[in-house]
Amino acid sequence: MTAAPAWRVAGTSVAGPCHANDDCQDRHLVQVTPGGVLIALVSDGAGSAKFSGDGAALLCEHVGDALVRLLGRSKPKAVATEALGEAVKAGIEAAREAALALGAEREAGLEAFHATLVGAVMIPGKGGLFFHIGDGAALAVSPASERWLLSPPSNGEYADTTYFFTEHDWRENLRFSPIEPGYETIFVMTDGVTDLGLQGAQPHMPFFDPIGRFLAGASREEGQLALRATLDSEAARGRSGDDKTLVWAQAAR
Amino acid sequence: MNLIPDVALAENTSQRLPCVVVLDGSSSMAANNAIGALNDGLKLLEQDLKADDVARQRVRILVLRVGAPQNVEVVTDWVDAIEFEAPEIEANGTTPLGAGVRRALDEIETEKARYRDHGIPYNRPWLFVLTDGEPTDPDWESAADECRRAEESGRVSVFCVGVGEANMSKLGRFSPRQPLALQGLAFREFFLWLSRSARAGSKSSPSENIQMAAPSDWAVVPGRAG
Protein backbone atom coordinates (compact mmCIF):
# COMPACT_ATOMS: atom_id res chain seq x y z
CA MET A 1 0.00 0.00 0.00
CA THR A 2 1.25 3.47 -0.86
CA ALA A 3 1.23 6.10 1.87
CA ALA A 4 -0.67 9.32 1.20
CA PRO A 5 1.64 11.92 -0.39
CA ALA A 6 3.29 14.13 2.21
CA TRP A 7 3.21 17.28 0.07
CA ARG A 8 1.01 18.90 -2.54
CA VAL A 9 3.14 20.67 -5.12
CA ALA A 10 2.88 22.89 -8.20
CA GLY A 11 5.35 24.93 -10.19
CA THR A 12 5.80 26.72 -13.48
CA SER A 13 8.32 28.77 -15.46
CA VAL A 14 7.21 31.34 -18.03
CA ALA A 15 9.37 33.30 -20.46
CA GLY A 16 9.40 37.06 -19.94
CA PRO A 17 8.39 39.43 -22.73
CA CYS A 18 11.97 40.80 -22.77
CA HIS A 19 13.31 37.46 -23.90
CA ALA A 20 13.12 36.96 -27.62
CA ASN A 21 11.50 33.82 -29.06
CA ASP A 22 9.95 32.92 -25.72
CA ASP A 23 13.28 31.43 -24.77
CA CYS A 24 12.97 30.95 -21.01
CA GLN A 25 16.20 30.53 -19.05
CA ASP A 26 14.51 29.75 -15.73
CA ARG A 27 14.38 26.13 -14.57
CA HIS A 28 12.76 24.47 -11.57
CA LEU A 29 12.58 21.11 -9.91
CA VAL A 30 10.17 19.94 -7.24
CA GLN A 31 10.39 16.50 -5.82
CA VAL A 32 9.20 14.54 -2.76
CA THR A 33 11.46 11.71 -1.56
CA PRO A 34 10.01 8.32 -0.59
CA GLY A 35 10.56 9.42 3.02
CA GLY A 36 8.31 12.45 2.50
CA VAL A 37 10.98 15.15 2.29
CA LEU A 38 10.25 18.07 -0.03
CA ILE A 39 12.97 19.35 -2.36
CA ALA A 40 12.09 22.57 -4.22
CA LEU A 41 14.65 24.27 -6.47
CA VAL A 42 14.57 27.19 -8.89
CA SER A 43 17.37 28.62 -10.98
CA ASP A 44 17.49 31.71 -13.17
CA GLY A 45 19.93 31.56 -16.06
CA ALA A 46 21.47 34.94 -16.93
CA GLY A 47 20.01 36.34 -20.14
CA SER A 48 23.43 37.59 -21.20
CA ALA A 49 25.11 34.16 -20.89
CA LYS A 50 24.94 31.88 -23.91
CA PHE A 51 24.12 28.57 -22.25
CA SER A 52 22.55 29.84 -19.04
CA GLY A 53 19.38 27.77 -19.54
CA ASP A 54 21.61 24.68 -19.56
CA GLY A 55 23.44 26.04 -16.50
CA ALA A 56 20.14 26.41 -14.64
CA ALA A 57 19.05 22.90 -15.67
CA LEU A 58 22.36 21.31 -14.62
CA LEU A 59 22.23 23.10 -11.29
CA CYS A 60 18.69 21.90 -10.48
CA GLU A 61 19.54 18.38 -11.59
CA HIS A 62 22.76 18.00 -9.61
CA VAL A 63 21.64 19.73 -6.42
CA GLY A 64 18.43 17.65 -6.54
CA ASP A 65 20.42 14.43 -7.04
CA ALA A 66 22.80 15.21 -4.19
CA LEU A 67 19.90 15.83 -1.81
CA VAL A 68 18.02 12.71 -2.92
CA ARG A 69 21.16 10.63 -2.37
CA LEU A 70 21.58 12.03 1.13
CA LEU A 71 17.94 11.68 2.12
CA GLY A 72 17.44 8.17 0.72
CA ARG A 73 14.13 6.40 1.30
CA SER A 74 13.72 6.83 5.02
CA LYS A 75 11.72 9.43 6.89
CA PRO A 76 14.22 11.68 8.71
CA LYS A 77 13.63 12.22 12.41
CA ALA A 78 15.22 15.67 12.40
CA VAL A 79 16.67 18.28 10.06
CA ALA A 80 20.37 17.54 9.70
CA THR A 81 21.28 21.10 8.71
CA GLU A 82 24.96 20.48 8.32
CA ALA A 83 24.60 17.33 6.20
CA LEU A 84 21.98 19.05 4.01
CA GLY A 85 24.31 22.02 3.53
CA GLU A 86 27.17 19.72 2.53
CA ALA A 87 24.91 17.92 0.05
CA VAL A 88 23.90 21.27 -1.51
CA LYS A 89 27.57 22.23 -1.87
CA ALA A 90 28.41 18.85 -3.39
CA GLY A 91 25.52 19.28 -5.83
CA ILE A 92 26.78 22.72 -6.86
CA GLU A 93 30.32 21.33 -7.32
CA ALA A 94 28.92 18.56 -9.52
CA ALA A 95 26.90 21.08 -11.54
CA ARG A 96 30.04 23.21 -12.04
CA GLU A 97 31.96 20.17 -13.25
CA ALA A 98 29.16 19.20 -15.60
CA ALA A 99 28.98 22.77 -16.94
CA LEU A 100 32.76 22.83 -17.45
CA ALA A 101 32.59 19.54 -19.38
CA LEU A 102 29.71 20.75 -21.54
CA GLY A 103 31.53 24.06 -22.03
CA ALA A 104 34.65 22.24 -23.21
CA GLU A 105 32.58 20.58 -25.95
CA ARG A 106 31.12 23.92 -26.96
CA GLU A 107 34.29 25.98 -26.51
CA ALA A 108 32.69 28.04 -23.76
CA GLY A 109 33.78 28.83 -20.22
CA LEU A 110 31.83 28.47 -17.00
CA GLU A 111 30.58 32.05 -17.35
CA ALA A 112 28.46 30.95 -20.31
CA PHE A 113 26.39 28.95 -17.79
CA HIS A 114 25.69 31.75 -15.26
CA ALA A 115 22.65 30.94 -13.12
CA THR A 116 21.29 31.71 -9.65
CA LEU A 117 19.98 29.18 -7.13
CA VAL A 118 17.11 29.28 -4.64
CA GLY A 119 16.03 26.14 -2.85
CA ALA A 120 14.26 24.65 0.12
CA VAL A 121 14.34 21.24 1.79
CA MET A 122 11.48 20.54 4.20
CA ILE A 123 10.62 17.62 6.45
CA PRO A 124 6.92 17.52 7.35
CA GLY A 125 6.43 18.86 10.88
CA LYS A 126 10.15 19.33 11.48
CA GLY A 127 11.16 22.41 9.54
CA GLY A 128 13.94 22.53 6.99
CA LEU A 129 16.59 24.62 5.28
CA PHE A 130 16.70 27.39 2.67
CA PHE A 131 19.79 27.74 0.47
CA HIS A 132 20.42 30.60 -1.91
CA ILE A 133 22.90 32.17 -4.36
CA GLY A 134 21.95 35.58 -5.79
CA ASP A 135 18.50 36.98 -6.36
CA GLY A 136 15.07 35.36 -6.28
CA ALA A 137 13.53 34.39 -2.94
CA ALA A 138 12.15 31.55 -0.85
CA LEU A 139 9.23 32.02 1.53
CA ALA A 140 7.85 29.76 4.25
CA VAL A 141 4.37 30.54 5.57
CA SER A 142 2.65 29.19 8.68
CA PRO A 143 -0.94 27.88 8.53
CA ALA A 144 -3.39 30.83 8.31
CA SER A 145 -0.42 33.03 7.33
CA GLU A 146 0.25 34.37 10.83
CA ARG A 147 3.99 34.03 10.38
CA TRP A 148 6.41 33.94 7.51
CA LEU A 149 10.11 33.42 6.97
CA LEU A 150 11.97 34.79 3.95
CA SER A 151 15.26 34.01 2.27
CA PRO A 152 15.62 37.41 0.54
CA PRO A 153 17.45 38.27 -2.69
CA SER A 154 21.10 39.26 -2.38
CA ASN A 155 22.60 41.20 -5.27
CA GLY A 156 25.37 43.24 -3.80
CA GLU A 157 25.17 46.96 -4.40
CA TYR A 158 23.56 47.18 -7.81
CA ALA A 159 20.05 46.27 -8.92
CA ASP A 160 21.29 45.11 -12.32
CA THR A 161 23.87 42.55 -11.19
CA THR A 162 23.72 39.40 -9.07
CA TYR A 163 25.65 36.30 -7.99
CA PHE A 164 25.90 32.99 -9.86
CA PHE A 165 26.96 29.41 -9.05
CA THR A 166 29.49 29.66 -11.87
CA GLU A 167 31.60 32.34 -10.17
CA HIS A 168 34.83 31.45 -8.42
CA ASP A 169 33.62 32.86 -5.11
CA TRP A 170 30.25 31.05 -5.14
CA ARG A 171 30.88 29.62 -1.66
CA GLU A 172 30.98 33.15 -0.22
CA ASN A 173 27.67 33.98 -1.86
CA LEU A 174 25.91 30.75 -0.85
CA ARG A 175 23.55 31.51 2.03
CA PHE A 176 21.70 29.08 4.29
CA SER A 177 18.80 29.84 6.60
CA PRO A 178 17.17 27.24 8.82
CA ILE A 179 13.38 26.90 8.80
CA GLU A 180 12.04 26.03 12.23
CA PRO A 181 9.03 23.73 12.60
CA GLY A 182 5.60 25.32 12.22
CA TYR A 183 5.70 26.36 8.55
CA GLU A 184 3.59 24.30 6.19
CA THR A 185 3.64 26.21 2.93
CA ILE A 186 6.66 27.05 0.80
CA PHE A 187 7.08 29.36 -2.18
CA VAL A 188 10.36 29.39 -4.11
CA MET A 189 10.76 31.93 -6.92
CA THR A 190 13.11 33.67 -9.36
CA ASP A 191 13.56 37.44 -9.57
CA GLY A 192 10.79 37.87 -12.16
CA VAL A 193 8.38 36.84 -9.39
CA THR A 194 10.03 38.81 -6.58
CA ASP A 195 9.23 41.90 -8.69
CA LEU A 196 5.56 41.01 -8.21
CA GLY A 197 5.58 39.43 -4.77
CA LEU A 198 8.08 41.30 -2.61
CA GLN A 199 7.43 44.77 -1.25
CA GLY A 200 10.91 46.02 -0.56
CA ALA A 201 12.39 43.34 1.72
CA GLN A 202 9.03 41.85 2.79
CA PRO A 203 6.67 39.39 1.15
CA HIS A 204 3.49 40.99 -0.16
CA MET A 205 0.98 38.53 1.27
CA PRO A 206 -1.95 39.73 -0.91
CA PHE A 207 0.13 38.23 -3.73
CA PHE A 208 1.02 34.90 -2.10
CA ASP A 209 -2.13 34.09 -0.08
CA PRO A 210 -4.57 33.93 -3.01
CA ILE A 211 -2.12 31.83 -5.02
CA GLY A 212 -1.64 29.41 -2.12
CA ARG A 213 -5.41 29.14 -1.53
CA PHE A 214 -6.10 28.49 -5.19
CA LEU A 215 -3.37 25.87 -5.62
CA ALA A 216 -4.48 24.09 -2.44
CA GLY A 217 -7.97 23.72 -3.88
CA ALA A 218 -7.03 22.72 -7.43
CA SER A 219 -5.53 19.66 -9.08
CA ARG A 220 -1.82 20.03 -9.87
CA GLU A 221 -2.52 20.31 -13.57
CA GLU A 222 -5.29 22.87 -13.20
CA GLY A 223 -3.27 24.81 -10.63
CA GLN A 224 -0.20 24.98 -12.83
CA LEU A 225 -2.20 26.20 -15.82
CA ALA A 226 -3.78 28.99 -13.78
CA LEU A 227 -0.43 29.86 -12.18
CA ARG A 228 1.11 30.09 -15.60
CA ALA A 229 -1.66 32.35 -16.87
CA THR A 230 -1.34 34.56 -13.79
CA LEU A 231 2.44 34.96 -14.09
CA ASP A 232 2.08 35.62 -17.81
CA SER A 233 -0.84 38.05 -17.47
CA GLU A 234 -0.75 41.53 -18.98
CA ALA A 235 -0.37 43.08 -15.52
CA ALA A 236 2.49 40.76 -14.52
CA ARG A 237 4.29 41.25 -17.82
CA GLY A 238 3.94 45.00 -17.45
CA ARG A 239 5.56 44.84 -14.02
CA SER A 240 8.52 42.67 -14.97
CA GLY A 241 9.97 41.75 -18.33
CA ASP A 242 11.97 38.90 -16.87
CA ASP A 243 11.37 35.14 -16.89
CA LYS A 244 9.15 34.10 -13.99
CA THR A 245 9.26 30.89 -12.00
CA LEU A 246 7.21 30.03 -8.94
CA VAL A 247 7.16 26.72 -7.10
CA TRP A 248 4.58 26.09 -4.36
CA ALA A 249 4.38 23.22 -1.89
CA GLN A 250 2.11 22.55 1.06
CA ALA A 251 2.40 19.82 3.67
CA ALA A 252 -0.55 17.44 3.60
CA ARG A 253 -2.67 17.85 6.71
CA MET B 1 -7.06 30.69 -19.61
CA ASN B 2 -8.39 31.70 -16.20
CA LEU B 3 -6.19 33.66 -13.88
CA ILE B 4 -5.92 32.93 -10.18
CA PRO B 5 -8.48 35.31 -8.62
CA ASP B 6 -7.66 38.18 -6.22
CA VAL B 7 -3.87 38.17 -6.73
CA ALA B 8 -2.56 41.66 -5.89
CA LEU B 9 0.86 42.61 -7.29
CA ALA B 10 3.33 44.52 -5.11
CA GLU B 11 4.05 48.19 -5.88
CA ASN B 12 7.78 48.73 -5.83
CA THR B 13 10.00 51.72 -6.41
CA SER B 14 11.71 51.02 -9.68
CA GLN B 15 15.46 50.97 -9.96
CA ARG B 16 17.37 54.07 -11.06
CA LEU B 17 20.19 54.33 -13.57
CA PRO B 18 22.40 57.34 -12.77
CA CYS B 19 24.14 58.84 -15.83
CA VAL B 20 26.69 61.65 -15.70
CA VAL B 21 27.83 63.42 -18.85
CA VAL B 22 31.01 65.55 -18.66
CA LEU B 23 31.15 67.83 -21.70
CA ASP B 24 34.02 69.85 -23.07
CA GLY B 25 32.95 73.50 -23.26
CA SER B 26 36.37 74.83 -24.24
CA SER B 27 36.91 77.49 -26.91
CA SER B 28 38.11 74.98 -29.49
CA MET B 29 34.65 73.41 -29.54
CA ALA B 30 33.52 76.49 -31.51
CA ALA B 31 35.57 75.38 -34.53
CA ASN B 32 33.40 73.90 -37.32
CA ASN B 33 30.49 74.61 -34.99
CA ALA B 34 31.17 71.40 -33.09
CA ILE B 35 29.37 73.00 -30.16
CA GLY B 36 26.24 73.44 -32.29
CA ALA B 37 26.29 69.78 -33.25
CA LEU B 38 26.81 68.85 -29.59
CA ASN B 39 23.80 70.93 -28.54
CA ASP B 40 21.64 69.35 -31.25
CA GLY B 41 22.72 65.98 -29.93
CA LEU B 42 21.65 66.89 -26.40
CA LYS B 43 18.19 67.83 -27.68
CA LEU B 44 17.94 64.45 -29.35
CA LEU B 45 18.94 62.76 -26.09
CA GLU B 46 16.11 64.58 -24.33
CA GLN B 47 13.51 63.60 -26.95
CA ASP B 48 14.57 60.01 -27.22
CA LEU B 49 14.66 59.35 -23.48
CA LYS B 50 11.31 61.01 -22.92
CA ALA B 51 9.76 58.83 -25.60
CA ASP B 52 10.41 55.73 -23.49
CA ASP B 53 7.79 55.12 -20.78
CA VAL B 54 10.13 53.20 -18.52
CA ALA B 55 13.46 54.92 -19.14
CA ARG B 56 12.06 58.39 -18.55
CA GLN B 57 11.22 57.40 -15.00
CA ARG B 58 14.38 55.45 -14.24
CA VAL B 59 17.27 57.23 -15.91
CA ARG B 60 18.73 60.07 -13.79
CA ILE B 61 20.92 62.60 -15.55
CA LEU B 62 23.58 65.06 -14.45
CA VAL B 63 25.37 67.23 -17.03
CA LEU B 64 28.67 68.91 -16.18
CA ARG B 65 30.54 71.33 -18.42
CA VAL B 66 34.25 72.04 -18.18
CA GLY B 67 35.66 75.34 -19.49
CA ALA B 68 35.44 78.96 -18.35
CA PRO B 69 34.52 81.04 -16.41
CA GLN B 70 34.01 78.19 -13.94
CA ASN B 71 36.31 75.20 -14.27
CA VAL B 72 33.40 72.88 -13.69
CA GLU B 73 29.80 73.96 -14.04
CA VAL B 74 26.66 71.96 -13.27
CA VAL B 75 24.59 72.76 -16.33
CA THR B 76 21.87 70.25 -15.46
CA ASP B 77 21.60 69.10 -11.87
CA TRP B 78 20.41 65.53 -11.16
CA VAL B 79 17.04 65.12 -12.82
CA ASP B 80 14.76 62.25 -13.90
CA ALA B 81 14.82 61.87 -17.68
CA ILE B 82 11.13 62.83 -17.79
CA GLU B 83 12.08 66.31 -16.56
CA PHE B 84 15.37 66.64 -18.43
CA GLU B 85 15.68 69.75 -20.57
CA ALA B 86 18.65 69.78 -22.90
CA PRO B 87 21.08 72.50 -21.78
CA GLU B 88 22.88 74.84 -24.19
CA ILE B 89 26.64 74.30 -23.89
CA GLU B 90 28.93 77.27 -24.53
CA ALA B 91 32.41 77.07 -26.04
CA ASN B 92 34.71 79.16 -23.88
CA GLY B 93 37.96 78.50 -22.01
CA THR B 94 40.28 75.56 -21.52
CA THR B 95 39.63 71.90 -20.68
CA PRO B 96 40.00 71.10 -16.95
CA LEU B 97 38.83 67.52 -17.48
CA GLY B 98 40.51 66.27 -14.31
CA ALA B 99 38.39 68.60 -12.19
CA GLY B 100 35.29 67.68 -14.18
CA VAL B 101 35.78 63.96 -13.69
CA ARG B 102 36.59 64.37 -10.01
CA ARG B 103 33.37 66.33 -9.53
CA ALA B 104 31.45 63.66 -11.45
CA LEU B 105 32.78 60.88 -9.19
CA ASP B 106 31.82 62.89 -6.08
CA GLU B 107 28.34 63.56 -7.43
CA ILE B 108 27.86 59.88 -8.17
CA GLU B 109 28.70 58.83 -4.61
CA THR B 110 26.38 61.51 -3.19
CA GLU B 111 23.58 60.40 -5.47
CA LYS B 112 24.05 56.74 -4.51
CA ALA B 113 23.86 57.71 -0.83
CA ARG B 114 20.54 59.46 -1.53
CA TYR B 115 19.17 56.29 -3.13
CA ARG B 116 20.31 54.21 -0.17
CA ASP B 117 18.70 56.64 2.29
CA HIS B 118 15.40 56.27 0.48
CA GLY B 119 15.62 52.53 -0.15
CA ILE B 120 15.73 52.99 -3.93
CA PRO B 121 17.51 50.22 -5.84
CA TYR B 122 20.00 51.40 -8.46
CA ASN B 123 22.16 50.17 -11.28
CA ARG B 124 25.87 50.75 -11.63
CA PRO B 125 26.22 54.42 -12.65
CA TRP B 126 27.51 55.47 -16.05
CA LEU B 127 29.99 58.27 -16.66
CA PHE B 128 30.53 59.69 -20.15
CA VAL B 129 33.47 62.01 -20.79
CA LEU B 130 33.59 63.91 -24.06
CA THR B 131 36.39 66.18 -25.28
CA ASP B 132 37.94 67.55 -28.46
CA GLY B 133 41.30 68.24 -26.84
CA GLU B 134 43.15 67.08 -23.77
CA PRO B 135 43.01 67.78 -20.05
CA THR B 136 44.55 71.16 -19.22
CA ASP B 137 44.45 71.10 -15.44
CA PRO B 138 47.84 70.37 -13.78
CA ASP B 139 46.67 67.44 -11.63
CA TRP B 140 44.52 65.73 -14.24
CA GLU B 141 46.63 62.58 -13.99
CA SER B 142 45.64 61.90 -10.40
CA ALA B 143 41.99 62.49 -11.34
CA ALA B 144 42.39 60.06 -14.23
CA ASP B 145 43.90 57.46 -11.89
CA GLU B 146 41.03 57.97 -9.47
CA CYS B 147 38.54 57.52 -12.29
CA ARG B 148 40.22 54.36 -13.54
CA ARG B 149 40.24 52.92 -10.01
CA ALA B 150 36.54 53.78 -9.61
CA GLU B 151 35.83 51.78 -12.75
CA GLU B 152 38.04 48.88 -11.70
CA SER B 153 36.40 48.63 -8.29
CA GLY B 154 32.94 48.58 -9.87
CA ARG B 155 31.82 51.99 -8.60
CA VAL B 156 31.04 53.31 -12.08
CA SER B 157 31.28 52.44 -15.77
CA VAL B 158 33.35 55.05 -17.62
CA PHE B 159 33.07 55.76 -21.35
CA CYS B 160 35.46 58.28 -22.94
CA VAL B 161 34.80 59.83 -26.32
CA GLY B 162 37.24 61.93 -28.33
CA VAL B 163 36.16 64.48 -30.94
CA GLY B 164 38.36 65.59 -33.84
CA GLU B 165 41.95 66.02 -32.72
CA ALA B 166 41.35 64.84 -29.16
CA ASN B 167 44.37 63.32 -27.42
CA MET B 168 43.20 59.71 -27.31
CA SER B 169 46.12 58.40 -25.30
CA LYS B 170 45.51 60.90 -22.48
CA LEU B 171 41.79 60.19 -22.65
CA GLY B 172 42.59 56.50 -22.38
CA ARG B 173 44.09 57.10 -18.93
CA PHE B 174 40.62 57.69 -17.45
CA SER B 175 39.26 54.19 -17.98
CA PRO B 176 40.43 50.64 -18.64
CA ARG B 177 37.86 50.72 -21.44
CA GLN B 178 39.34 51.93 -24.71
CA PRO B 179 38.28 55.50 -25.60
CA LEU B 180 36.25 55.88 -28.74
CA ALA B 181 36.70 58.52 -31.43
CA LEU B 182 33.62 60.29 -32.70
CA GLN B 183 33.29 60.11 -36.47
CA GLY B 184 33.35 63.70 -37.66
CA LEU B 185 30.63 65.54 -35.76
CA ALA B 186 28.29 62.56 -35.29
CA PHE B 187 26.98 63.92 -31.99
CA ARG B 188 23.40 63.05 -32.87
CA GLU B 189 24.35 59.42 -33.41
CA PHE B 190 26.38 59.42 -30.20
CA PHE B 191 23.57 60.79 -28.05
CA LEU B 192 21.06 58.48 -29.69
CA TRP B 193 23.34 55.55 -28.81
CA LEU B 194 23.62 56.86 -25.25
CA SER B 195 19.84 57.13 -25.03
CA ARG B 196 19.22 53.68 -26.49
CA SER B 197 21.80 52.17 -24.13
CA ALA B 198 20.15 53.89 -21.17
CA ARG B 199 16.71 52.74 -22.34
CA ALA B 200 17.91 49.14 -22.35
CA GLY B 201 20.00 49.51 -19.20
CA SER B 202 17.16 51.00 -17.20
CA LYS B 203 15.11 47.85 -17.82
CA SER B 204 17.79 45.29 -17.21
CA SER B 205 17.18 42.89 -14.36
CA PRO B 206 19.94 41.30 -12.31
CA SER B 207 20.07 38.16 -14.32
CA GLU B 208 20.26 39.92 -17.64
CA ASN B 209 23.23 42.26 -17.65
CA ILE B 210 22.19 43.99 -20.83
CA GLN B 211 25.16 44.76 -23.03
CA MET B 212 25.57 48.10 -24.68
CA ALA B 213 24.99 48.15 -28.40
CA ALA B 214 28.14 48.43 -30.49
CA PRO B 215 28.74 52.14 -31.05
CA SER B 216 29.32 51.41 -34.72
CA ASP B 217 27.38 54.27 -36.29
CA TRP B 218 29.21 57.09 -34.54
CA ALA B 219 32.60 55.83 -33.40
CA VAL B 220 35.87 54.68 -34.85
CA VAL B 221 38.34 52.73 -32.80
CA PRO B 222 41.39 54.95 -32.41
CA GLY B 223 44.63 53.85 -34.01
CA ARG B 224 42.98 52.85 -37.24
CA ALA B 225 42.91 55.02 -40.28
CA GLY B 226 39.55 56.54 -41.06
CB contact (8 A) between residue A161 and residue B206: yes
pTM (global) more than 0.80: yes
How far, in Å, are A54, A206, A238, B84 from residue B180 at the CA level?
Answer: 36, 50, 36, 26
β pairing state of A202-203 and A174-179: unpaired
pLDDT values of chain B reduced to their tens digit, one per residue, 226 residues = 689 999 999 987 778 999 999 999 999 999 999 999 999 999 999 999 999 888 898 999 999 999 999 999 999 999 999 999 999 999 999 999 999 999 999 999 999 999 999 888 999 999 999 999 999 999 999 999 999 999 999 999 999 999 999 999 999 999 999 998 998 888 888 998 888 888 888 877 665 555 566 777 777 755 433 3
> What is the nearest CA distance from A95 to chain B, expressed in angstroms?
19
Residue B219 has phi, psi (to 5 degrees) of -120, 150
**What pLDDT sits at residue B226?**
31
Please check whether residue A158 touches B, CB under 8 A.
Answer: yes
The pLDDT value given to residue B218: 79
- What are the residue ranges spanned by the domains of chain B? 17-204
| A212-217: long-range contacts, CB 8 A cutoff, minimum separation 24 | A212/A141, A212/A185, A212/A187, A212/A248, A212/A250, A214/B4, A214/B5, A215/A8, A215/A10, A215/A248, A215/A250, A215/B4, A216/A8, A216/A250
Of B203, B206, B211, the CB nearest to A135: B206
pLDDT digits (tens, 9 = 90+) for A74-106: 888 888 999 999 999 999 999 999 999 999 999
Q: What DSSP state is assigned to residue B122? A: B
| ipTM (interface predicted TM) | 0.90
pLDDT score for A230 = 97
CA gap A170, A40 in Å, rounded: 20
Collapsing DSSP to helix, strand or coil, A202 comes out as: strand
Nearest to A47 among B12, B123, B207 (CB): B207
Structural domains of chain A in order of their starting residue, each with its CATH number: 7-14+24-251 (3.60.40.10)
pLDDT tens-digit map of A118-175: 999 999 889 999 999 999 999 999 998 899 999 999 988 888 889 999 999 999 999 9
| CB-based contacts of B73, cutoff 8 Å, min separation 6 | B25, B64, B65, B66, B67
CATH T-level topology, domain B17-204: Rossmann fold (3.40.50)
Q: Between chains, do B207 and A135 touch, taking CB under 8 Å as contact?
A: yes
Candidates B122, B208, B210, B212: best to mutate against A (most CBs of A within 10 A) is: B208
